[in-house]
Amino acid sequence: MKNLILSVQHLLAMYAGAILVPIIVGTSLKFTPEQIAYLVTVDIFMCGVATFLQANKVTGTGLPIVLGCTFTAVAPMILIGQTKGIDVLYGSLFYQGY
């Protein structure tokens, strides 16, 4: 029972950060509700993929570490999106990942 409670706490902590970052960025860039929903969906999916890879001993630490979005990148993402456009924003996110 204790593990179930702790896992729900872990899930809620990850989920709050995972949905707030795309919502903040999407509303700042004046996205439609459908586009914001797409951003949230992709973000939650990629958080799951990253968490799975991190929890695997071959590709990660083998520990149950939840990976998600960071609020550190919100201001630069909004600035790049407003000045250069969404295509440059996506390109910069792809480039900085490597």
pLDDT tens per residue across span 26-64: 999 999 999 999 999 999 999 889 989 998 899 999 888
How much is the mean pLDDT over the chain?
Answer: 89
Q: Tell me, what's the pLDDT at 82?
A: 96
Residue 74 is part of which domain span? 2-96
pLDDT digits (tens, 9 = 90+) for 65-85: 888 888 898 999 999 999 999
Confidence bin at 98 (pLDDT 50/70/90): low
| List of long-range contacts for 10-13, beta carbons under 8 Å, 24+ apart | 10/64, 10/66, 11/66, 13/66
Per the structure, the count of domains in the chain is: 1
